[in-house]
Chains A and B, each alone.
Chain A
């Protein structure tokens, strides 16, 4: 499941919704990404822009690929857009499987792919000035391990 939303998410509620009425899930892995202030309290705001339409397609594509690679019973990707503050939730990935290894690996895979292929762009407001966050080479490197 894919959701792109401005609202915050409730991790507990999402986990309950994913597992409700099921007894085949033995492992749930949850990854939550938060808006981080990498500049000593100088970042006051983060703005998330995205490409409506392509964002959902890309997230669905990487989710499909995760399900092809690992035996997953369920998965959820939520990514927030709009205005966020340091400390806010920004992304949630949940993977459910019979056993932990598939759930851990799939969650890691989903995040690596999301960071390098889903069309989101962060702009931070620092000291009153807006600047686009630069892409990180380490994220590209992280993705290549799944090739």
Chain B
């Protein structure tokens, strides 16, 4: 599974993109975040406040309940500030 991070989230994790093998037990975004938080201080910090975390599954906006079965790309980022 390809994971992407943007803006402040990327600065906390320290990587923009990575390929990971997620445990089969993980079925949705909430599960992915719980798993990521165990991967080190940067990740724990990045996902400490879920109110300021947004996500996309295969480039479509998702939420904590969005299933990840069959997805090839998951991205995490702060609320958007374009325009």
Q: Which residues of A contact B (CB under 8 A)?
A: 33, 48-51, 53-54, 57-58, 79, 90-91, 111, 114-123, 132-136, 139
Contact = CB atoms under 8 A, between A and B. Distances in A.
Given A51-B59, A54-B75, A57-B59, A116 B80 contact: yes
Contacts, number: 69
Contacts of B82: 48, 50, 79, 91, 114-115, 118-122
B79 interface: yes
Binding site of A, secondary structure by majority: helix, strand, loop or mixed? mixed
B8 interface: yes
B80 A117 contact: yes
Interface of B: 4, 6-8, 56, 59-61, 75, 77-83
Given A54-B75, A57-B59, A132 B80 contact: no
A135 B80 contact: yes
Nearest to B79: A135
Contact of B80 (A33, A90, A111, A121): A121
